[in-house]
Amino acid sequence: MIVKNKYSGDQFIELKDTNLVDAETTLNRAKKAFQEMKELPSFERYEALLRVSKELENRREEFAKIISNEAGKPIKYSRGEARRASITMLFSAEESKRIYGETIPMDVESRGKNRYAYYNRVPIGPVFAITPFNDPLNLVAHKVGPALAAGNSIVNKPASLTPYSGYRLNEIVNNSGLPEYAMQTVVGSGGGEVTNYFLNSEDVKMVTFTGGVEAADRLIKKAGIKKYSMELGSNSPVIVWNDADLELATDAIVDAAMESQGQNCIHSQRILIHREIYDDLSKRLVEKVAKLKVGDPLDDSTDIGPMIAESEAIRVEKEVNNAVTHGAEVLIGGKRNGRFYQPTLMAKVSHDMGLWHNEIFGPVSILQPIEDFEDAITMANDVPYGLQAGIYTNNLDIAMKAIQKLDFGAVLINDTSDFRVDVMPFGGMKLSGLGREGIRFAIEEMTEIKLAIFRK
Protein backbone atom coordinates (compact mmCIF):
# COMPACT_ATOMS: atom_id res chain seq x y z
CA MET A 1 0.00 0.00 0.00
CA ILE A 2 1.63 3.23 -1.21
CA VAL A 3 0.03 6.65 -0.98
CA LYS A 4 1.25 9.12 -3.58
CA ASN A 5 0.61 12.76 -2.77
CA LYS A 6 -0.89 14.63 -5.76
CA TYR A 7 0.35 18.01 -4.54
CA SER A 8 4.05 17.55 -3.87
CA GLY A 9 4.78 14.25 -5.58
CA ASP A 10 6.14 12.81 -2.34
CA GLN A 11 5.90 9.06 -2.05
CA PHE A 12 5.82 7.27 1.27
CA ILE A 13 7.33 3.92 2.12
CA GLU A 14 5.27 0.89 1.31
CA LEU A 15 3.15 -0.49 4.14
CA LYS A 16 2.13 -4.09 3.82
CA ASP A 17 -1.52 -4.80 4.55
CA THR A 18 -1.87 -6.91 7.68
CA ASN A 19 -3.24 -10.42 7.12
CA LEU A 20 -4.69 -12.92 9.61
CA VAL A 21 -1.35 -14.61 10.20
CA ASP A 22 0.19 -11.21 10.95
CA ALA A 23 -2.74 -10.38 13.24
CA GLU A 24 -2.31 -13.54 15.30
CA THR A 25 1.41 -12.85 15.67
CA THR A 26 0.67 -9.24 16.61
CA LEU A 27 -1.78 -10.23 19.34
CA ASN A 28 0.61 -12.81 20.78
CA ARG A 29 3.29 -10.14 20.93
CA ALA A 30 0.84 -7.74 22.58
CA LYS A 31 0.04 -10.32 25.27
CA LYS A 32 3.73 -10.87 25.99
CA ALA A 33 4.42 -7.14 26.01
CA PHE A 34 1.58 -6.59 28.47
CA GLN A 35 3.17 -8.99 30.95
CA GLU A 36 6.30 -6.83 30.82
CA MET A 37 4.47 -3.50 30.77
CA LYS A 38 2.41 -4.16 33.88
CA GLU A 39 5.60 -4.88 35.85
CA LEU A 40 7.41 -1.80 34.55
CA PRO A 41 7.94 0.85 37.25
CA SER A 42 6.11 4.09 36.62
CA PHE A 43 9.33 6.11 36.46
CA GLU A 44 10.49 3.97 33.53
CA ARG A 45 7.18 4.50 31.73
CA TYR A 46 7.55 8.21 32.43
CA GLU A 47 11.08 8.37 31.02
CA ALA A 48 10.14 6.43 27.87
CA LEU A 49 7.07 8.53 27.13
CA LEU A 50 9.06 11.69 27.76
CA ARG A 51 11.52 10.54 25.09
CA VAL A 52 8.60 9.99 22.71
CA SER A 53 7.32 13.50 23.39
CA LYS A 54 10.72 15.10 22.77
CA GLU A 55 11.25 13.16 19.55
CA LEU A 56 7.84 14.24 18.25
CA GLU A 57 8.70 17.85 19.03
CA ASN A 58 12.10 17.56 17.33
CA ARG A 59 10.42 16.15 14.22
CA ARG A 60 7.38 18.44 14.24
CA GLU A 61 7.83 19.72 10.69
CA GLU A 62 8.34 16.21 9.33
CA PHE A 63 5.13 15.02 10.95
CA ALA A 64 3.25 18.12 9.81
CA LYS A 65 4.14 17.35 6.20
CA ILE A 66 3.08 13.73 6.63
CA ILE A 67 -0.29 14.84 8.02
CA SER A 68 -0.85 17.33 5.19
CA ASN A 69 0.24 14.85 2.55
CA GLU A 70 -2.00 12.02 3.66
CA ALA A 71 -5.01 13.90 5.10
CA GLY A 72 -5.06 17.09 3.00
CA LYS A 73 -5.02 19.24 6.13
CA PRO A 74 -3.53 22.71 5.54
CA ILE A 75 0.05 22.75 6.78
CA LYS A 76 -0.53 25.47 9.38
CA TYR A 77 -3.08 23.24 11.08
CA SER A 78 -0.90 20.15 10.64
CA ARG A 79 1.91 21.89 12.52
CA GLY A 80 -0.53 22.53 15.32
CA GLU A 81 -1.57 18.89 15.40
CA ALA A 82 2.04 17.70 15.49
CA ARG A 83 2.73 20.06 18.39
CA ARG A 84 -0.35 18.81 20.24
CA ALA A 85 0.72 15.19 19.78
CA SER A 86 4.02 15.97 21.48
CA ILE A 87 2.13 17.61 24.35
CA THR A 88 -0.27 14.67 24.56
CA MET A 89 2.65 12.30 25.04
CA LEU A 90 4.20 14.67 27.59
CA PHE A 91 0.96 14.71 29.59
CA SER A 92 0.86 10.90 29.33
CA ALA A 93 4.38 10.71 30.75
CA GLU A 94 3.42 12.96 33.65
CA GLU A 95 0.19 11.09 34.41
CA SER A 96 2.04 7.76 34.49
CA LYS A 97 3.35 8.90 37.88
CA ARG A 98 -0.08 9.89 39.20
CA ILE A 99 -2.19 6.74 39.04
CA TYR A 100 -3.54 6.84 42.57
CA GLY A 101 -5.82 4.74 44.74
CA GLU A 102 -7.65 5.44 48.01
CA THR A 103 -8.26 3.99 51.43
CA ILE A 104 -11.82 2.89 52.15
CA PRO A 105 -13.37 3.34 55.62
CA MET A 106 -14.68 -0.16 56.34
CA ASP A 107 -15.96 0.60 59.83
CA VAL A 108 -18.91 2.60 58.51
CA GLU A 109 -21.00 -0.35 59.70
CA SER A 110 -20.53 -3.04 62.31
CA ARG A 111 -19.52 -5.79 59.86
CA GLY A 112 -16.54 -3.71 58.79
CA LYS A 113 -15.13 -3.32 62.27
CA ASN A 114 -11.45 -4.28 62.54
CA ARG A 115 -11.04 -4.21 58.78
CA TYR A 116 -8.84 -1.88 56.73
CA ALA A 117 -9.06 -1.51 52.96
CA TYR A 118 -7.51 0.29 50.06
CA TYR A 119 -7.74 0.09 46.29
CA ASN A 120 -5.36 0.86 43.46
CA ARG A 121 -5.74 0.96 39.73
CA VAL A 122 -4.13 -1.78 37.62
CA PRO A 123 -3.68 -2.00 33.82
CA ILE A 124 -6.46 -3.80 32.01
CA GLY A 125 -4.52 -5.75 29.38
CA PRO A 126 -3.95 -5.53 25.62
CA VAL A 127 -5.90 -2.63 24.13
CA PHE A 128 -7.11 -2.45 20.52
CA ALA A 129 -7.46 1.09 19.14
CA ILE A 130 -9.18 2.19 15.95
CA THR A 131 -8.29 5.75 14.98
CA PRO A 132 -9.72 8.13 12.34
CA PHE A 133 -8.31 10.11 9.43
CA ASN A 134 -9.06 13.66 10.52
CA ASP A 135 -6.35 13.97 13.20
CA PRO A 136 -4.18 11.04 12.16
CA LEU A 137 -1.38 11.73 14.66
CA ASN A 138 -2.84 13.37 17.76
CA LEU A 139 -5.85 11.05 17.98
CA VAL A 140 -3.48 8.09 17.83
CA ALA A 141 -1.42 9.71 20.60
CA HIS A 142 -4.59 10.15 22.67
CA LYS A 143 -5.05 6.39 22.73
CA VAL A 144 -1.44 5.21 22.76
CA GLY A 145 -0.16 7.64 25.41
CA PRO A 146 -2.68 6.78 28.16
CA ALA A 147 -2.57 3.06 27.37
CA LEU A 148 1.21 2.91 27.78
CA ALA A 149 1.17 5.26 30.78
CA ALA A 150 -1.24 2.89 32.51
CA GLY A 151 0.97 -0.14 31.84
CA ASN A 152 -0.95 -1.70 28.97
CA SER A 153 0.17 -2.83 25.55
CA ILE A 154 -1.73 -1.46 22.55
CA VAL A 155 -2.40 -2.39 18.93
CA ASN A 156 -3.52 0.53 16.77
CA LYS A 157 -5.51 0.29 13.54
CA PRO A 158 -5.25 3.71 11.84
CA ALA A 159 -7.63 4.81 9.10
CA SER A 160 -6.65 3.11 5.85
CA LEU A 161 -6.37 6.49 4.07
CA THR A 162 -4.02 7.97 6.70
CA PRO A 163 -1.79 5.23 8.14
CA TYR A 164 1.62 6.93 8.04
CA SER A 165 1.34 9.29 11.00
CA GLY A 166 0.53 6.48 13.40
CA TYR A 167 3.09 4.20 11.80
CA ARG A 168 5.85 6.79 12.33
CA LEU A 169 4.72 7.32 15.92
CA ASN A 170 5.00 3.56 16.40
CA GLU A 171 8.61 3.70 15.24
CA ILE A 172 9.38 6.34 17.86
CA VAL A 173 7.69 4.30 20.61
CA ASN A 174 9.72 1.27 19.54
CA ASN A 175 12.91 3.23 20.24
CA SER A 176 11.77 4.78 23.51
CA GLY A 177 12.97 2.08 25.90
CA LEU A 178 9.57 0.49 26.50
CA PRO A 179 9.28 -3.31 26.20
CA GLU A 180 9.33 -4.64 22.67
CA TYR A 181 5.92 -4.56 20.97
CA ALA A 182 4.35 -2.39 23.66
CA MET A 183 2.80 -0.59 20.68
CA GLN A 184 2.05 -2.21 17.33
CA THR A 185 0.26 -1.01 14.20
CA VAL A 186 -1.90 -2.98 11.80
CA VAL A 187 -2.89 -1.48 8.45
CA GLY A 188 -5.40 -2.19 5.73
CA SER A 189 -9.15 -2.18 5.27
CA GLY A 190 -11.06 -0.92 8.30
CA GLY A 191 -13.93 -3.35 7.85
CA GLY A 192 -11.86 -6.43 7.11
CA GLU A 193 -11.17 -9.73 8.75
CA VAL A 194 -8.10 -8.46 10.60
CA THR A 195 -10.13 -5.86 12.49
CA ASN A 196 -12.73 -8.51 13.28
CA TYR A 197 -9.99 -10.81 14.58
CA PHE A 198 -8.99 -8.29 17.24
CA LEU A 199 -12.58 -7.40 18.07
CA ASN A 200 -13.55 -11.03 18.56
CA SER A 201 -10.50 -12.03 20.61
CA GLU A 202 -11.00 -12.60 24.33
CA ASP A 203 -7.36 -11.59 24.79
CA VAL A 204 -8.20 -8.02 23.79
CA LYS A 205 -9.48 -6.50 27.03
CA MET A 206 -10.52 -3.08 25.76
CA VAL A 207 -11.49 -1.42 22.49
CA THR A 208 -11.03 2.33 22.10
CA PHE A 209 -12.59 3.81 18.99
CA THR A 210 -13.05 7.20 17.35
CA GLY A 211 -15.46 7.23 14.44
CA GLY A 212 -19.15 7.13 13.52
CA VAL A 213 -22.17 5.85 15.40
CA GLU A 214 -23.10 3.18 12.86
CA ALA A 215 -19.57 1.78 12.83
CA ALA A 216 -19.53 1.77 16.64
CA ASP A 217 -22.78 -0.18 16.74
CA ARG A 218 -21.37 -2.83 14.41
CA LEU A 219 -18.14 -2.93 16.36
CA ILE A 220 -19.82 -3.56 19.73
CA LYS A 221 -21.98 -6.33 18.26
CA LYS A 222 -18.85 -8.05 16.96
CA ALA A 223 -16.65 -7.53 20.01
CA GLY A 224 -19.14 -8.46 22.74
CA ILE A 225 -18.39 -8.03 26.43
CA LYS A 226 -15.31 -5.85 26.76
CA LYS A 227 -14.44 -2.43 28.04
CA TYR A 228 -15.11 0.35 25.55
CA SER A 229 -14.13 3.96 25.12
CA MET A 230 -15.79 5.61 22.15
CA GLU A 231 -15.83 9.12 20.72
CA LEU A 232 -18.54 9.16 18.08
CA GLY A 233 -18.76 12.70 16.80
CA SER A 234 -21.41 15.37 17.11
CA ASN A 235 -23.46 18.11 15.51
CA SER A 236 -22.36 21.01 17.63
CA PRO A 237 -24.23 24.28 18.20
CA VAL A 238 -22.94 27.74 19.01
CA ILE A 239 -25.44 30.19 20.52
CA VAL A 240 -24.69 33.87 19.93
CA TRP A 241 -26.67 36.04 22.33
CA ASN A 242 -27.59 39.67 21.63
CA ASP A 243 -24.87 41.03 23.95
CA ALA A 244 -22.03 39.03 22.37
CA ASP A 245 -18.74 40.48 21.19
CA LEU A 246 -19.37 40.03 17.45
CA GLU A 247 -15.79 40.59 16.37
CA LEU A 248 -14.60 37.86 18.74
CA ALA A 249 -17.44 35.57 17.73
CA THR A 250 -16.97 36.06 13.98
CA ASP A 251 -13.32 35.03 13.86
CA ALA A 252 -13.78 32.05 16.16
CA ILE A 253 -16.92 30.75 14.46
CA VAL A 254 -15.40 30.80 10.98
CA ASP A 255 -12.33 28.98 12.27
CA ALA A 256 -14.48 26.43 14.12
CA ALA A 257 -16.71 25.89 11.11
CA MET A 258 -14.05 25.55 8.43
CA GLU A 259 -10.79 24.32 10.01
CA SER A 260 -9.69 21.00 8.54
CA GLN A 261 -12.49 21.28 5.98
CA GLY A 262 -15.02 20.79 8.77
CA GLN A 263 -13.79 17.20 9.22
CA ASN A 264 -13.77 17.57 12.96
CA CYS A 265 -15.97 16.01 15.64
CA ILE A 266 -16.43 19.37 17.42
CA HIS A 267 -16.95 21.34 14.19
CA SER A 268 -19.46 24.15 14.83
CA GLN A 269 -22.26 23.07 12.51
CA ARG A 270 -25.28 25.06 13.78
CA ILE A 271 -24.85 28.76 14.59
CA LEU A 272 -27.90 29.95 16.56
CA ILE A 273 -27.99 33.74 16.45
CA HIS A 274 -30.25 36.06 18.42
CA ARG A 275 -32.72 37.73 16.06
CA GLU A 276 -31.55 41.23 17.05
CA ILE A 277 -28.03 40.63 15.73
CA TYR A 278 -28.74 37.99 13.09
CA ASP A 279 -28.33 40.24 10.03
CA ASP A 280 -25.17 41.89 11.36
CA LEU A 281 -23.42 38.65 12.33
CA SER A 282 -24.52 36.82 9.18
CA LYS A 283 -22.95 39.55 7.05
CA ARG A 284 -19.73 39.42 9.07
CA LEU A 285 -19.52 35.64 8.76
CA VAL A 286 -20.10 35.64 5.01
CA GLU A 287 -17.44 38.32 4.52
CA LYS A 288 -14.95 36.36 6.63
CA VAL A 289 -15.60 33.08 4.82
CA ALA A 290 -15.17 34.83 1.46
CA LYS A 291 -11.58 35.64 2.41
CA LEU A 292 -10.58 32.00 3.04
CA LYS A 293 -8.10 30.57 0.57
CA VAL A 294 -8.83 27.15 -0.90
CA GLY A 295 -5.85 25.29 -2.32
CA ASP A 296 -2.70 23.23 -1.86
CA PRO A 297 -2.51 22.03 1.76
CA LEU A 298 1.29 22.37 1.70
CA ASP A 299 1.03 26.12 1.00
CA ASP A 300 1.37 28.13 4.21
CA SER A 301 -1.35 30.54 3.08
CA THR A 302 -4.00 27.87 2.46
CA ASP A 303 -7.01 27.84 4.79
CA ILE A 304 -9.07 25.08 3.16
CA GLY A 305 -7.51 21.96 1.66
CA PRO A 306 -9.08 18.94 -0.05
CA MET A 307 -11.42 16.62 1.79
CA ILE A 308 -10.09 13.19 2.64
CA ALA A 309 -11.59 11.64 -0.52
CA GLU A 310 -13.66 12.78 -3.46
CA SER A 311 -16.45 10.51 -2.29
CA GLU A 312 -16.68 12.57 0.90
CA ALA A 313 -16.86 15.82 -1.05
CA ILE A 314 -19.62 14.29 -3.20
CA ARG A 315 -21.50 13.24 -0.04
CA VAL A 316 -21.40 16.80 1.30
CA GLU A 317 -22.44 18.17 -2.09
CA LYS A 318 -25.48 15.89 -2.17
CA GLU A 319 -26.48 16.85 1.38
CA VAL A 320 -26.30 20.56 0.57
CA ASN A 321 -28.10 20.20 -2.78
CA ASN A 322 -30.86 18.20 -1.15
CA ALA A 323 -31.37 20.92 1.45
CA VAL A 324 -31.49 23.58 -1.27
CA THR A 325 -34.06 21.56 -3.21
CA HIS A 326 -36.27 21.65 -0.11
CA GLY A 327 -35.96 25.39 0.49
CA ALA A 328 -32.59 26.03 2.14
CA GLU A 329 -30.45 28.93 0.97
CA VAL A 330 -26.70 28.98 0.28
CA LEU A 331 -25.26 32.25 1.57
CA ILE A 332 -21.75 31.50 0.27
CA GLY A 333 -19.98 28.47 -1.18
CA GLY A 334 -21.97 25.36 -2.04
CA LYS A 335 -19.75 24.19 -4.91
CA ARG A 336 -17.44 21.20 -5.37
CA ASN A 337 -14.33 20.73 -7.50
CA GLY A 338 -13.02 17.18 -7.17
CA ARG A 339 -11.96 16.66 -3.54
CA PHE A 340 -12.38 20.34 -2.76
CA TYR A 341 -15.64 21.62 -1.34
CA GLN A 342 -15.99 25.35 -0.91
CA PRO A 343 -16.49 26.68 2.63
CA THR A 344 -20.26 27.04 2.87
CA LEU A 345 -22.73 28.93 5.04
CA MET A 346 -26.44 28.15 4.76
CA ALA A 347 -29.70 29.63 5.98
CA LYS A 348 -33.36 28.58 6.03
CA VAL A 349 -32.46 24.97 6.86
CA SER A 350 -35.60 23.39 8.30
CA HIS A 351 -35.33 21.16 11.31
CA ASP A 352 -36.59 18.08 9.51
CA MET A 353 -33.65 18.11 7.09
CA GLY A 354 -30.71 15.75 7.43
CA LEU A 355 -28.38 18.75 7.31
CA TRP A 356 -29.88 19.93 10.60
CA HIS A 357 -29.85 16.60 12.45
CA ASN A 358 -26.87 14.70 11.03
CA GLU A 359 -23.15 15.30 11.42
CA ILE A 360 -22.10 16.86 8.11
CA PHE A 361 -18.33 16.36 8.66
CA GLY A 362 -17.53 18.91 6.01
CA PRO A 363 -17.00 22.69 5.61
CA VAL A 364 -20.70 23.55 5.97
CA SER A 365 -22.45 25.46 8.75
CA ILE A 366 -26.03 26.59 9.26
CA LEU A 367 -27.07 30.07 10.40
CA GLN A 368 -30.33 30.04 12.34
CA PRO A 369 -32.12 32.98 14.04
CA ILE A 370 -33.39 32.47 17.59
CA GLU A 371 -36.07 34.47 19.41
CA ASP A 372 -35.36 33.83 23.09
CA PHE A 373 -33.33 31.69 25.45
CA GLU A 374 -35.70 28.71 25.58
CA ASP A 375 -35.83 28.76 21.79
CA ALA A 376 -32.02 28.59 21.69
CA ILE A 377 -31.82 25.71 24.15
CA THR A 378 -34.52 23.71 22.38
CA MET A 379 -32.78 24.12 19.02
CA ALA A 380 -29.34 23.38 20.40
CA ASN A 381 -30.51 20.13 22.00
CA ASP A 382 -32.55 19.09 18.94
CA VAL A 383 -30.01 16.53 17.68
CA PRO A 384 -29.08 12.99 18.75
CA TYR A 385 -25.53 14.10 19.65
CA GLY A 386 -24.05 15.90 22.63
CA LEU A 387 -20.28 16.38 22.50
CA GLN A 388 -19.61 20.12 22.95
CA ALA A 389 -21.56 23.36 22.65
CA GLY A 390 -20.61 27.03 22.80
CA ILE A 391 -22.39 30.21 23.78
CA TYR A 392 -21.34 33.84 23.37
CA THR A 393 -22.75 36.13 26.03
CA ASN A 394 -21.66 38.61 28.69
CA ASN A 395 -24.73 37.82 30.79
CA LEU A 396 -23.69 35.57 33.67
CA ASP A 397 -27.25 34.40 34.29
CA ILE A 398 -27.65 33.33 30.65
CA ALA A 399 -24.28 31.57 30.74
CA MET A 400 -25.11 29.62 33.91
CA LYS A 401 -28.52 28.61 32.58
CA ALA A 402 -26.87 27.40 29.36
CA ILE A 403 -24.44 25.23 31.32
CA GLN A 404 -27.37 23.71 33.17
CA LYS A 405 -29.71 23.15 30.24
CA LEU A 406 -27.47 22.23 27.29
CA ASP A 407 -27.23 18.43 26.95
CA PHE A 408 -23.58 18.31 25.97
CA GLY A 409 -20.44 16.90 27.54
CA ALA A 410 -18.87 20.37 27.63
CA VAL A 411 -20.34 23.86 27.44
CA LEU A 412 -17.93 26.65 26.48
CA ILE A 413 -18.68 30.24 27.40
CA ASN A 414 -17.58 32.95 24.95
CA ASP A 415 -16.10 30.29 22.74
CA THR A 416 -17.21 27.89 20.03
CA SER A 417 -17.66 24.15 20.36
CA ASP A 418 -14.31 23.68 18.62
CA PHE A 419 -11.87 23.94 21.51
CA ARG A 420 -9.90 21.27 23.32
CA VAL A 421 -6.93 21.20 25.66
CA ASP A 422 -5.61 17.68 25.76
CA VAL A 423 -5.83 17.23 29.54
CA MET A 424 -9.56 17.97 29.84
CA PRO A 425 -12.22 15.25 30.06
CA PHE A 426 -13.33 14.95 26.45
CA GLY A 427 -16.47 13.08 25.52
CA GLY A 428 -20.17 13.51 25.12
CA MET A 429 -23.73 12.63 25.93
CA LYS A 430 -26.35 10.81 23.89
CA LEU A 431 -24.87 9.27 20.72
CA SER A 432 -21.60 11.19 21.03
CA GLY A 433 -19.87 8.35 22.79
CA LEU A 434 -18.96 6.25 25.80
CA GLY A 435 -16.45 7.30 28.46
CA ARG A 436 -14.03 10.19 28.37
CA GLU A 437 -10.67 10.88 26.78
CA GLY A 438 -8.09 13.37 28.04
CA ILE A 439 -5.04 11.72 29.55
CA ARG A 440 -6.00 11.21 33.20
CA PHE A 441 -9.55 10.29 32.28
CA ALA A 442 -8.45 7.89 29.56
CA ILE A 443 -6.13 6.19 32.05
CA GLU A 444 -9.12 5.64 34.32
CA GLU A 445 -10.92 4.00 31.40
CA MET A 446 -7.86 1.84 30.63
CA THR A 447 -7.36 0.55 34.17
CA GLU A 448 -9.35 -1.53 36.62
CA ILE A 449 -9.82 -1.13 40.36
CA LYS A 450 -8.26 -3.78 42.57
CA LEU A 451 -9.39 -3.75 46.19
CA ALA A 452 -7.41 -5.13 49.15
CA ILE A 453 -9.05 -5.76 52.56
CA PHE A 454 -7.11 -6.53 55.74
CA ARG A 455 -8.68 -8.02 58.87
CA LYS A 456 -7.01 -7.33 62.19
Over the range 364-394, which residues count as b (16 or more CB within 10 Å of their CB) and which as e?
A: bbbbbbbeebebbbebbbebebbbbbbbbbe
Q: Which of 70, 231, 317, 359 is the catalytic position?
A: 231
Over the range 248-267, which residues count as b (16 or more CB within 10 Å of their CB) and which as e?
A: ebbebbbbbbbbbbbbbbbb
Q: SS3 string of 151-170?
A: CCCEEEECCCCCCHHHHHHH
At 216, phi and psi to the nearest 5?
Answer: -65, -40
Within 8 A by CB and 6+ apart from 311, the residues are none
Phi/psi region, residue 261 (left: phi>0; alpha: psi -120 to 50; beta: rest), is left
Quickly count: other Cβ atoms within 10 Å of residue 94's Cβ.
17
Q: How far apart are the first and last CA of the chain?
A: 63
User: CA–CA distance from 326 to each of 143, 312, 320 (Å)?
Assistant: 42, 22, 10
Q: Which of 81, 265, 317, 359 is the catalytic position?
A: 265
Taken in order 250, 253, 254, 255, is the CA torsion positive or negative? positive
User: CA–CA distance from 429 to each of 73, 256, 435 (Å)?
Assistant: 28, 20, 9
70 a catalytic residue: no
265 a catalytic residue: yes
User: What is the rounded distance in angstroms from the CA atom of residue 385 to the CA atom of residue 234?
Assistant: 5
Report yes or no: 365 and 268 within 8 Å, Cβ to Cβ: yes
At 119, phi and psi to the nearest 5?
Answer: -130, 155
Chain centroid offset of residue 161 CA: 17
Catalytic residues: 231, 265
